Structures are given as C-alpha cells and as structure tokens.
Amino acid sequence: MTESTAGLTIVIGSYLEADLVARIAAAPPVAHVAYEPNLLPVPRYRCDHNGRPRDLSEGELARWRSIAAAGDVFFDFDWLDPAGMADLAKHGRLRWVQATSAGIGGFMQRTGLDRSGLTATTAGGIHAVPLAEFAVMGALHFVKGVPDLRRRQQARHWERYTTRQLAGQRALVVGLGGVGRRVVASFAALGLEVWGLGRDGRSYEVDGLAKVIARQDLDAVLPSVDVVVLACPLTEETEGLMGRRQLGLLPPDAVLVNIARGQIVDEQALIDQLRAGALGGACLDVFATEPLTADSPLWEMDTVIVSPHSASTVATENEALTDLFIDNLERFADNRLLRNRYEPADGY
C-alpha cells in the first residue's frame, strides 16, 4: 500500500446490501465508506443499479454533492451528475470509479468522461455466465421449436412431430471478450462447432473455439452459420455490423442472439427478415431504442424473444461485483494493474 492510497474514502453510488457495504469497509485500504441509501435512487428490482429517482430536498441534494466531492473512489458512477465526475477528478480527490456494467463505452462518451483522464474499470466478466445461459436458452428455444409447441399446447393438439438438434450445428460468436468466451464454452459443451470473430489484428486462444474469422470474411461465412451470438462492445467498427445484407445471408432457419447492444443490428431489416420467414428466430436482450417502443412489431412476433436488457442481471450480481471491487481495491492500493480498465481508444 502506498502512502497516497492509505485511508481511502469510498463513495457508493447505487444501492448495495448492508453486508456487502460492510465487506468493502473492512478492506485494508479503506478508511471510510460513504453510503447513504436514502439519498440514492430506489432500486426497482434486486441488483438494480439505476433505480427510480427520489424526490430530494435542496438540502439533501447538497449533502449528496458534498459526499461525492469527498470521495477518492466511487463504486458506481455519480447518479446525480456523472459528467461532473470529470471536475471531481481534475480539481478534487476522485481518482477511480468502478462501474457496475461491462459495456460503458457509450456512457463514457456521452458524459465526456472518456476524455477526462479519470480511471474507470468495468464489470467485465461479471455477467458472462448469465448472458451465456441466455444465449443458449435463445438458441434452444427456436431450434427445439418451442413457439410451435406452445401453439399446439394452447390448442390442446396432440400430434407427434420431428424437431431439430442443436448439437452438430455451427455457431458464430461475435466478440471474444469475457462474455464471448463463456458463450463459446457453453455452445461447444453442447456439441456445436463454434467459430469466433474478434478484433482484427489480435490472436485468440479460446477453449472450444474451432475457428477464428476476420471481419472481412463475415459475409462469406454467414450462409453456413446456424446461430449468431452478438457479444461484442459497441464501437465504430461494430455499429451496424449485422445490417440488411448480413441478415439476408443467413440461412432461413438461423437464430440471432443479441446480448451486446441494439445498434449492432439493423432492427428494421431484422423485422423485415422475420416477417418474411427468412430467419428462424431472434433472441434479443438489447434494442436500438430502450425501452422498446410499444408500437414495435417485435413485441408480437412468435419468432422473437424480447428481454428488457435484463439477461445479465441475476440475484447474486452484487456479491460478484463486490468481489471484483475489493480485488481492484487491493490492486489500487499496491499500484498494480486494475482488472477491466476502460481504454478510451478502444471504446471499452
């Protein structure tokens, strides 16, 4: 521990269970934890890190600003004025913020924090298991014909039929970070041949991955892919990656799973392909506009699973985030490399 990291003040910026707050307070570099849940947004569900804003008085808002200004480290961003954290870093004590989300690139750019010099770390890897489970669920849902089974059940119609098998099919996982690697492992364990698309110019050694393709080869391989899982960050290179042409190249029984960001897919083109029966199904946790508008055709399609950007949120998320934060606190105190450090040049 360096002299400058002894006695850190930690500000917790979103709701956290009392036992987890106590664990953070007991970490060696911590002198004080500022946690006042009555000043934080009200969680709408377990492990909600956004929440419903409170109707706070001017005095309460002033108190929160005072708490924020005294923090050396934030667990989650300042809910009241995230862009103002740039000034806290430049003129105040703030040195590092631990995010509770893996995909913070767009947020950092919108708030200008990507240009502030503030050190930020993401929750990369925390959500890998639930997102991989969601991807497997989506693929199985359509390959095993669950929509048709539901229709038969509702009609009380008993008739034997033939289904497809997921094992032996080919999956393409776009994005080979922590989430993508877990998706690869999950699909490979089910007997699929798994291909991957990462960032050009990088090498990938991923267990269960049969082949890595380059961005320029995407169009050429799509006609031979049965399942596409989007697990990549939103960057200039990935925005619109699955456009009308790419969706049109997929086989008519193919399944698209998006656990990345909505802007990676041409949503209208996806709707058109599904309406035409040119895709087997789409399992979507993210959308171009969120919340998904009430008039979106996606709501009523049997060939679509709509998830309200919640596939990553499980009941044990806060425990895992606390483990990551405490590990990074120890690294911070020892002046070691932080896990999941956000790199503005990469956008994630």
The answer to whether 307 touches 285, Cβ cutoff 8 Å, is yes
Nearest C-alpha neighbor of 5 from the set 285, 334, 281: 334
Q: Does residue 110 belong to any structural domain of this protein?
A: yes
Query: Out of 54, 141, 309, 339, which one is annotated catalytic?
Result: 309
What is the reported pLDDT for 2? 61
Average pLDDT over residues 22-34: 94
Predicted TM-score of the model (pTM): 0.90
Domain count, the chain: 2
What is the reported pLDDT for 239? 96
Question: Does residue 94 carry a pLDDT above 80?
Answer: yes
Spell out where the chain has E strands: 8-12, 30-34, 73-75, 96-98, 119-121, 170-174, 193-197, 209-213, 227-230, 255-258, 281-284, 304-306
Q: Does residue 344 belong to any structural domain of this protein?
A: no
Is 203 found in the same domain as 66?
no
Query: Out of 49, 127, 181, 261, which one is annotated catalytic?
Result: 261
Cβ neighbours, 10 Å, residue 133: 15
What is the reported pLDDT for 29? 87
Is 217 found in the same domain as 138?
yes
Question: Does residue 5 carry a pLDDT above 80?
Answer: no
Average pLDDT over residues 217-246: 97
CA distances from 93 to 7, 61, 72, 178, 322 (A): 13, 19, 5, 31, 22
Q: Does residue 254 belong to any structural domain of this protein?
A: yes
Give yes or no: 236 in active site: no
| Residue 59 to residue 79: CA distance in whole angstroms | 17
Is 132 found in the same domain as 116?
no
Which residues are paired to 12 by β-bridges?
Answer: 75
Give yes or no: 49 in active site: no
Q: Does residue 345 belong to any structural domain of this protein?
A: no
Question: Does residue 3 carry a pLDDT above 70?
Answer: no
Query: Out of 239, 290, 341, 343, which one is annotated catalytic?
Result: 290
Is 164 found in the same domain as 283?
yes
Helix 128-143 with 146-154: angle, nearest 10 deg: 60
What is the reported pLDDT for 87? 96
Is 284 found in the same domain as 197?
yes
Is 187 found in the same domain as 117?
no
Is 173 found in the same domain as 101?
no
Query: Residue 84, CB half-sphere, CA atoms under 13 Å: how many?
Result: 9
Q: What is the DSSP string of 140-174?
A: HHHHTTHHHHHHHHHTT---------STT-EEEEE
Average pLDDT over residues 139-160: 97
Question: Does residue 4 carry a pLDDT above 80?
Answer: no
Q: Does residue 115 belong to any structural domain of this protein?
A: yes
Q: Does residue 338 belong to any structural domain of this protein?
A: no
Is 70 found in the same domain as 56?
yes
What is the reported pLDDT for 1? 56
What is the reported pLDDT for 6? 67
Q: Does residue 295 belong to any structural domain of this protein?
A: yes
Is 296 found in the same domain as 179?
yes
Cβ neighbours, 10 Å, residue 343: 11
Is 249 found in the same domain as 273?
yes
Domain with 89 in it: what CATH number? Answer: 3.40.50.720
Question: Does residue 337 carry a pLDDT above 80?
Answer: yes
What is the reported pLDDT for 13? 98
Range of the domain at 319: 3-125+314-333
What is the reported pLDDT for 346? 87
> How much is the mean pLDDT over the chain?
96
The answer to whether 285 touches 311, Cβ cutoff 8 Å, is yes
Average pLDDT over residues 130-142: 98
Average pLDDT over residues 92-100: 97
What percent of the chain has a predicted confidence (pLDDT) above 90?
Answer: 94
What is the reported pLDDT for 317? 97
Q: Which pLDDT tens digit goes with each residue over 151-169? A: 999 999 999 999 999 999 9
Is 236 found in the same domain as 109?
no
What is the reported pLDDT for 61? 98
HEC per residue, 242-276: ECHHHHHHCCCCCEEEECCCHHHECHHHHHHHHHC
Q: Does residue 25 belong to any structural domain of this protein?
A: yes
Task: Provide the pLDDT confidence category of residue 203 given band limits of 50, 70 and 90.
Answer: confident
- From edge to edge, which strands make up the β-sheet containing 119-121? 30-34, 8-12, 73-75, 96-98, 119-121
Give yes or no: 261 in active site: yes
Rounded CA Rg of the chain:
22
Is 294 found in the same domain as 146?
yes
Average pLDDT over residues 241-262: 98
Return the sign of the alpha-carbon dihedral for residues 237, 240, 241, 245: negative
